[in-house]
Structure 1
Amino acid sequence: MTASRTPPLPAGAPERAPFTAVLRAEWIKFRTVRGWVTAPITAALLCLVFTFLVADGTHTESCSGAGTCKAGHAHVPTGPDGRAVADSYYTVGGRLTGDGTVTTRITSLTGVTSTVPAGVAPSQAQRTRPGLPAWAKAGILLRPSTRQGSAYAAVMATGGHGDRFQYDYGNDGAGRRGPASPGSPRWLRLTRTGDTVTGYDSADGTTWTLIGTAHLTGLPVTVYAGLFVTSPVSFRTSADGSRTLATAAFDHTTIDDHTTVDGHATSGAWQGRSIGAGQQDFYPTLRTGGFHRAGGSFVISGSGDIAPAVVQGLLGTGTASSSLPFGLTVALIVLIVVATVFITAEYRRGLIRVTFAAVPGRRRVLAAKAVVVGAVAFVIAAAAAAAAVPLGEHVLRANGAYVFPAGALTVLRVIAGTAALAAVTAVGVLAVGTIARKSAAAVAGGIVVFVLPSIVGSIGSGDAVEWLYRLTPAAGFSVLQVLPRSAQVDYPYTFANGYYPLTPWAGLGVLTAWAALAFGIAAVLLYRRDA
C-alpha cells in the first residue's frame, strides 16, 4: 500500500497559514491605526454623553426611585419579588386570626366606563356608559395587611376570564368559565391553613372544585381577609385608556374561624376601605369605590387592579434602558464608520492585493476581519452599556422620575444584548463595505440598512413602526426591553408604551439574519471578483 502525499505547492505560492495567524495579522492591522483604536472609545463616550442628556431631559414631579412622592402624584408599589405592581381596589373586610375559611356568593358583576371627549380635561367632562373590562375582578382576598405591594392570595370572578385564583401578582389559575349573573351565580371559597391558602369555586355552594393553592411564606397569625372589587383601565374605547368602575353583589358570606370562639372575625365587624384611591392618572387609573350593606348582602364598587404594573406611563417614568437607545444609536454610527474603513481602506490604497497574496483564501481574511471588528464592537458596547445603564437610572431618579425596578439578570441581559447588537451590526457593515468597496457608499449603506430603521421607528407611531421592529435590523433594539408583559393585563404593548413587538433574543435573531445575508453576499462577491 502506497502512502498518499500532499503535492508540493507551486514555486512562489505561500503556504496556507492557520486561521489564528490570519486573525493575529488582522488584529495587528487594526491596533496599529490610531484612528481605528480611538474611534470605538469615542463611540463609548458618546453613548454615555447622550444617555445622560436624554435622562437629564426627563423631568417630573411624581415619584423618586426611593418611592417618595409629592402630594397628589402617583406612587408605584413594589411587590414581594421586587417588581412594580398595581395594587388598588375597594374592600370590605377585617382581621382573621389563625386558620379559617371565607365563603361568599356573587350574583352579579357589572361595570361602567367613563370616557373623556377629545380636547376636554378629565376634571371637566366625562361620559359614562356600560362596560366591564375582561379583567374586572370581584371575590375574596387574604393578605398579611392592606399595605400596597404586600403578598396576597385571592379567589375571584372576572369580567371575561371566568373564575380565577391569583396570588402575588404574577400567579394565576383558571376555574369555571363564564360571567357571574343572577342566572349563573358564582360561589367562591378561600381557606387558610398555616401559610397555605387555597381557592375553590362551586356552582351550587355544595360541591366545591379546587382552583389553586398558594404558599405565602411568613404569613402572620392575624391577617386581613375580606371581599374586594377592582376594575382596570379599558383601552377598547380610547388609546389613552378609559376609567372603569365595577360593581358586584355578594350574599351568603360566611366566616369559619377555627381558632376564635368569640366570633370577632365576623362580617358584622367588617369595614369598607379604598386601597390606592386618590392618586392621579397612572396605571391603574382610579375612581373612588364604595359599598352598601343590606342584611347579609353587600354591594361593592371598586376601580383599579391587582396585577403586575406594565406601563412606562405618562408621569415621567423610565426603565434601566429607557435612556440608552439614542446614545447607542450614536455609538453605532461611529462603529459603522470604523467597520467599513477596516476593509475599504485596503481597497482604496491597493493593499488588499498584498493581503490576498499573503493569505490564500479570501474568505478567511473576511472572517478574520469580522472576528476582530465584531470583538472590538462587543467589548466597547458592553463597557458603554455597563456604565450607561446605572448612569441613566441615577439621573432619572435625581430628576424625580420613577424607574421601574429590574432584576440583576435583566440588567445583565440588557448589557450583553447591547454588546451583541453592536457586534452583529459591525460584522454586517463590514460585509456592506466588502460589497461596496467605497468608504462613502459603504458608510451610507450601513447607516441606511442598520441604523435608519430604528431612527424612523423612534419618531414614528402606528402599525408601520411595529413592522419596522419586526422585520428590519431595528428589531435588534428589542434587547433593551425591560418592562414585563402579563397575560393578566389587557394593555396595548406598543413601542410608544415602552415595549418591542419581539422578545429580546428573537429581535437579535432578526438583526443577525440581516448581517448573515450581507456577509454571505460579501463572501460570494469577494471570491468571484478581482481584488
Structure 2
Amino acid sequence: MSSFTSSPTGSRDGFRRLLRARWAGLRSARGRTLAMAASVLVTVSLGLLIAGGVRSTCVTSAGEGPCPAPLVGPDGTAVSDKYYFVHQPLKGDGSITARVSDLTGQMRQPDLVPGVRNVKHGAVPWAKAGLLVRRSLQQGTSYAAVMITRGHGVRMQHDFIHDVAGSAARGPRWLRLDRSGDLLTGYESGDGRTWTRVGEARLAGLPETVEIGLFATSPGALWTMASAFAQATATFDRITLRGASGSWRHDDVGVTLGPDGRTPHHPGGAVESGGKVVVTGGGDIGPATVEGGLRADLLLSGGGLGLILVLVAAVMFPPAERGRSVLAAEAVVVGAVAFVAGLVAAGVVVPAGLALLRAHRNPIQPITLGTELRVIIGYAALAAISALLALGLAALVRSRILAAGLAVALIVVPYLLASAGVAPWLLAITPAAGFAITQSVPAFAHVDVGPSLLEGHHPLAPWAGLTVACGYVVVVLGAAIIAHRRRAAPA
C-alpha cells in the first residue's frame, strides 16, 4: 500500500496556479477592470475639481487679494505667533524671575440671542502666561518660555513644537527663566525659595542680545465646528531681572489689524502699577494646525466615493465556495490591484492638486516629503485593506450585494458622516479609522483641535487608524475561513 504526502514545493506550485487563475479571471472580467479604473477617475477628478475651484482671498487696507503664505517656525512647521509682550533687551547671560499670581481672561461663547455677542469670563485650557526669551520680535523666530496654563499646569516650551510638562499646579506660581549662552532653562517654585527644574532648550545661534520679559496669550475658544475669540489676562509680581536693567517696552506682537490697516482687532495690553504688571493677550505661540493653510488631504476628498467602486470590484469574483487557499489567492490578487489603483489615484491627485492650489496663489499648509509619501502610499494601503474587507464579507455572507452594502456601510458611510461634521467618533471604532493614514496636518499634544474632520484631524493617529482597519480585515477573513470549514464538514 502506498502512502502519499503533500510537499511544500507542491503546495507552492498549487498556490501559484491559483494566483495565475485568479489573475486571469480578473483580467478577463471587464466589469471588475472598469470598476477599478473608474475608482481612479472619480478620486482624481473630484480632487482636481476641488483644487481648481479654490480661490483664497484676504481683505487688507490695500483691498482684497491673495492671502499671505502661512507663517513658519524654525523647522518649517506652520505656526501661530501672536501674544502681548512686556520686555526689554538682555545682553549676554541673565535671568528673569516673577510670580504669576492670577490667570483668567474672557472668551466668546455661542450667541444666545442672535446678533448679541456672548462673551464670558474665564480662559481656555491652553491659555498661557509666563516668562519669555526671544531672538527678536520678528514672528516665527526662535524662542523659549516657561509658563503656567489654565488647564495643563506649568510648561516649558520652545520653537513652537516642543513642549515639556512641569507640575500640575494651577494657583499662584513662581517662575524663573535663565539664559546661559544659547541654553535656556526654566524653573518653577511654590514659594520662591525651593526651585524645581521644568526643562531646558538649546537655541542654536542665539545672538548676544535677546528680548526677555513677560507674556500672555490664548488660542481661540473651540466650538463644535469653529473657534472664537479668547484672551488671557495674567498678573505678575515679585519681578526681578539679572543682566537687564532697562525700561519695559510693550508690544502686541502679531496683532490683527482691521480693514483700515491701522486699528487693532482684539488688541492686548499691559498695566504697570505698584510693582505689578497685568498683561492681556490673545492668539497663541505654537503650531498652527488649522490656520496654517489648505491641507493636502483635502485633495483626497473624493477618495471615499472612489472606494465604493473598489469595494464593488472586490466582491465580483464568482460566488463559489472559497477554501483557505482559494481565498488567499483572491486576497493577494484583489489587494494588489486595489493597492495599485489607490497608488495611481493618490499619486496623481495629491502632487497635481497641490501644484494647482499654488498656481492659484492659495496658502498651503507646509508638508514634508515624508508626510506626502505617507498620504499617497497610505491611501493605496487603505484601498487594498478596504478591498480585502469586502472580499472577506463576500466569502462570509455568500452574497455580492449584501457584502458590498456592508462594506460601504462600514467604511464609506462613517467617513462621509465625519466629513460632514457628524459623529466623528465613528472614525475610531469602524474600519473607516483607516482614513487617518491620509491626515496631512501634524498633531501636537499642546494644541487643542476641534472634533470635526473638517479641521483635518482624525480621532486616531495615522498608523493607529490603519491598524484598526487591518484588525477588521483579519477578523472577517478568519471568520470566512471558519465558516467555510463548517459548511464543508460532513454532516
Does the pair score TM above 0.5?
yes
1:40 aligns with 2:15: no
State the alpha-carbon separation in 1 of the partners of residues 179 and 364 from structure 2: 35
335, 351, 354: which one aligns with 1:393: 354
- SS of the counterpart of 2:21? helix
User: What is the CA deviation profile of residues 271-300 of structure 1, one whole-angstrom value per residue up to 9, with x for unaligned ones?
Assistant: 11111111589xxx9721112233654222
- SS of the counterpart of 2:24? helix
Change (3 A) 1:329 1:247: closer
- SS of the counterpart of 1:18? helix
For the Cα contact (< 8 Å) 1:111–1:130, is it kept in 2? yes
- 2:283 — aligned with what? 304
Letter paired with 2:336: A
User: What is the CA deviation profile of residues 326-374 of structure 1, one whole-angstrom value per residue up to 9, with x for unaligned ones?
Assistant: 2x12322222232222334xx5xxxx8xxxxxxxx93212211110111
Aligned CA-pair RMSD: 3.2
For the Cα contact (< 8 Å) 1:483–1:498, is it kept in 2? yes
State the alpha-carbon separation in 1 of the partners of residues 478 and 314 from structure 2: 17
337, 345, 360: which one aligns with 1:384: 345
- 2:231 — aligned with what? 245
167, 187, 195: which one aligns with 1:208: 195
Letter paired with 2:284: D
- SS of the counterpart of 2:169? coil
User: What is the CA deviation profile of residues 220-264 of structure 1, one whole-angstrom value per residue up to 9, with x for unaligned ones?
Assistant: 2222222111122223x876444222222333433322xxxxxxx
Change (3 A) 1:132 1:33: closer
State the alpha-carbon separation in 1 of the partners of residues 78 and 213 from structure 2: 24
- 2:217 — aligned with what? 230
State the alpha-carbon separation in 2 of the partners of residues 372 and 199 from structure 1: 57
Which runs of 5 or more structure 2 residues have no equivalent in the other structure? none
State the alpha-carbon separation in 2 of the partners of residues 337 and 238 from structure 1: 35
For the Cα contact (< 8 Å) 1:105–1:252, is it kept in 2? yes
State the alpha-carbon separation in 1 of the partners of residues 154 and 404 from structure 2: 58
Which runs of 5 or more structure 1 residues have no equivalent in the other structure? 10-14, 64-68, 258-264, 353-360
1:106 aligns with 2:67: no
124, 135, 148: which one aligns with 2:126: 135
- SS of the counterpart of 1:499? coil
- SS of the counterpart of 2:478? helix
For the Cα contact (< 8 Å) 1:343–1:433, is it kept in 2? no
271, 282, 285: which one aligns with 2:249: 271
For the Cα contact (< 8 Å) 2:305–2:412, is it kept in 1? no
State the alpha-carbon separation in 2 of the partners of residues 432 and 105 from structure 1: 63
62, 81, 85: which one aligns with 2:75: 81
- SS of the counterpart of 2:54? coil
202-211 vs 369-378, which moves further: 202-211
For the Cα contact (< 8 Å) 2:66–2:362, is it kept in 1? no
- 1:330 — aligned with what? 305
Aligned pairs for 1:318-397 within 5 A: 318-326=294-302, 328-344=303-319, 362-397=323-358
Change (3 A) 1:71 1:40: closer
38, 47, 51: which one aligns with 1:51: 47
- The share of aligned pairs that are identical, in percent, is 39
Aligned pairs for 1:160-171 within 5 A: 160-171=151-162
- 1:25 — aligned with what? 21
- 2:163 — aligned with what? 172
User: What is the CA deviation profile of residues 479-514 of structure 1, one whole-angstrom value per residue up to 9, with x for unaligned ones?
Assistant: 122223333233433324322222222322332233
- 1:356 — aligned with what? none
- 1:97 — aligned with what? 91
Q: With structure 2 as the length reference, what TM-score do the two structures score?
A: 0.86
- 1:455 — aligned with what? 416
State the alpha-carbon separation in 2 of the partners of residues 167 and 331 from structure 1: 42
- SS of the counterpart of 1:336? helix
